[in-house]
Structure 1
Amino acid sequence: MNTSISPAPADVLGIDMSKTKFNAHLLPSHGGGQGREFANTPEGFHALDQWLRQLLGSSGRTRLRLHAGVEATGNYALPLLMHLHARAHIVSYLNPRRVKDFTRCLGRKAKTDPVDAHDIALMVQRLRPSSWVPPPAERCELQALVRHRRDLVAQITANDNRLKTVHCHTIITSLRLLLKHLRKLLKDIDGKIERHTLAHFSLQRDARLLQSIPGFGKVVSATILAEVPRMEDFSRARDLVAFAGMAPTTATSGSSVRRRGRLSKEGCPLLRHVLYMAAMTVVARKNTLRSFYDAMVARGMARACALGALMSRLLRIAFGVLKHQTPFVENFARLPSS
């Protein structure tokens, strides 16, 4: 999760991550720049600290503090992010798509790990992206559980589809046993998610608030709490909508280019998936939010676009519910004044 930073240190570090190693490129405030490769292990993190002290220790500062940029690469970068944050450095967790767009602006012809680390350092130096703050431990664990649940559901769906297409008795028997085991694991992980939520007051409170919204069950509420672990970092609902990749985009130029608007889809796909399922649940029932969907369709909006608008509305409601710690009231405007 990102939040604003101020003031920013002059020294900048760009880091290109991979599974077993990472390349770092330092751009000091006094000019120049050097790069080096390190192992993606605690020993490699310690070697990075020593390297930085050697390059920057001569400036007379008692404590090093720089702005590091790390390209998001799944979970490979998380231990290094935690390490850098613990050393009081400012860390930015960068969107790979934006890093790629920045590199294209530089006109690079080559793409190697050292070059990528240098370009990331340049991006941090020129754009000063917002900083990353580690979420609370209970939110990190919830995120791991929710994402593991997503993987189990994907495996169940894939094997169930395969079961419908095979005709070999041996394979059918094997797939049925596998599906039985996967469904048992899914049931176990659902129980662990529920117990983990109940064991932490803040998660239990927020989950109950979210479940007051139509279409939001245990899975949807747990996913939102896992994928948006620091709701306080968002000052406006539109910022959360953009974070989820549901902000509308347009493309117009002159009199000839009039492309149809669509969702940006730059954010978390799992978040959009559960919001889509919640929107489908809302549409299948008679409620205030279903009326909103019907009104969009009546205006001539395509049903898919209206569903996207409903997803955005649901996320905005979730933002308000958590920000004000107040459950959703369906006919709030019609309640009599006290």
Structure 2
Amino acid sequence: MKNLSQVHVGVDVSKEKLDIFIYPKGVSITVENSKKGINKLIDTLSKYDVLQVVFEATGGYEKQLHDMLNKKSYNCWNVDPRRIKGFIISTGCKAKTDKIDAKKIAEFSSKYSKDYDSTIRTAQEESLLSLVDRRFDLIKFLTSEKTRLKHPVHQNCITSIKKIIKMLEKEIKQIEKQVEKLIAENETISARSKLLESIPGIGKTTAATLIASVPEIGTISNNKISALVGLCPYEFESGSFKGKKFIRGGRIAPRNALYMCALTTIKYHLPLKNFYDRLIAANKPFKVAIVAVMRKLIVMANAILRNGEPCRL
């Protein structure tokens, strides 16, 4: 039975302001997206029994809100904007304002609160996530610069590109050192990292990426962990038509890290190499086979952290 005294808080986040709706109380407020504004929101929320605060991922504008609410022990749910958009369409709502969006986000929370996972990152895990995300951004930039170097450009541009590549490689190494230092200084993270590193193909950087980007790992089912990183195949069929299964969505940083690990394991780790070879022998495309190996890796990581035992394969 629902606790009718509990409220769901929907927040529509923008660069300058936060539009808030408290459901089912019908309270609507707007505050600045700043420490002062968020503290005002926290004062307001202290008057209610808040089940959770829900907002969309906005590329960073929600981070200060998330951090400050976490420190006050509020359960925060950072939802994929596509889910919110789909929910709003399903309600038949045609109007579009920030206040309406905040209300619909709160209604979404009320309807789908069972989907919420209460895993909260520690301060150290948040620091690790910042470093992992920064490394991921720099690697994307580095890849772009290396691609540009392959195309004919003016000599001055080549010199500039090479200079940027050298700088990026140096910065990535510095961040990796900071990641290793942070892991070594935290007993819990260090223990989890060592367990993950026992899996063939997974090194310190990938272990750090999984710990920081997927804090749920080791606490949820294999199907859920696969879906979280976008490695759960979905069927696509209608009537007599039967399309190919496909993967969609999920957290891109851990998926990219697992891809690189999979490329290594299919060369040097016999059990996974044999698994991959069987799929290729069965005429499965490379992408299908490599995604299957990636799924094996994330399932292994999930089981190892759940059981607290290193990989024996």
Counterpart position of 1:188 = 174
CA distance 1:319–1:25, change in 2 (3 Å): same
2:279 maps to 1:296: yes
Counterpart position of 2:53 = 68
**Separation (CA, whole Å) in 1 of partners of 2:53 and 2:152:** 51
The residue type equivalent to 2:147 in the other structure is N
Counterpart position of 1:10 = 6
Query: Aligned to 1:143, which of 105, 109, 129?
Result: 129
**SS at 1:250's partner residue?**
coil
Deviation track 1:32-58 (CA, whole Å, cap 9, x = no partner) reads x242321111211132245557xxx5x
The residue type equivalent to 1:159 in the other structure is E
**Separation (CA, whole Å) in 1 of partners of 2:57 and 2:279:** 36
User: Contact (CA 8 Å) 1:27, 1:34: kept in 2 or not?
Assistant: yes
Q: Rg: which structure is higher? A: 1
**Separation (CA, whole Å) in 2 of partners of 1:225 and 1:315:** 12
**SS at 2:41's partner residue?**
helix
2:191 maps to 1:205: yes
2:268 maps to 1:310: no
CA distance 1:118–1:302, change in 2 (3 Å): same
**Separation (CA, whole Å) in 2 of partners of 1:49 and 1:148:** 29
User: Contact (CA 8 Å) 1:9, 1:66: kept in 2 or not?
Assistant: no
- Which segments of 5 or more consecutive residues in structure 2 lack a partner in the other structure? none
CA distance 1:136–1:46, change in 2 (3 Å): closer
Give the root-mean-square deviation of aligned CA atoms. Answer: 2.3
**Separation (CA, whole Å) in 2 of partners of 1:88 and 1:104:** 32
> TM-score by structure 1 length?
0.84
Counterpart position of 1:26 = 22
> TM-score by structure 2 length?
0.90
Q: CA deviation at 1:241?
A: 0.9
- Which segments of 5 or more consecutive residues in structure 1 lack a partner in the other structure? 1-5, 58-62, 331-338
**SS at 2:268's partner residue?**
coil
2:67 maps to 1:82: yes
Counterpart position of 1:36 = 29
User: Contact (CA 8 Å) 2:12, 2:55: kept in 1 or not?
Assistant: yes
Q: CA deviation at 1:305?
A: 0.9
User: Contact (CA 8 Å) 1:82, 1:134: kept in 2 or not?
Assistant: no
Q: CA deviation at 1:124?
A: 1.4
2:62 maps to 1:99: no
**Separation (CA, whole Å) in 1 of partners of 2:116 and 2:153:** 54
The residue type equivalent to 1:313 in the other structure is K
Aligned residues: 311
**SS at 1:108's partner residue?**
coil
2:145 maps to 1:165: no
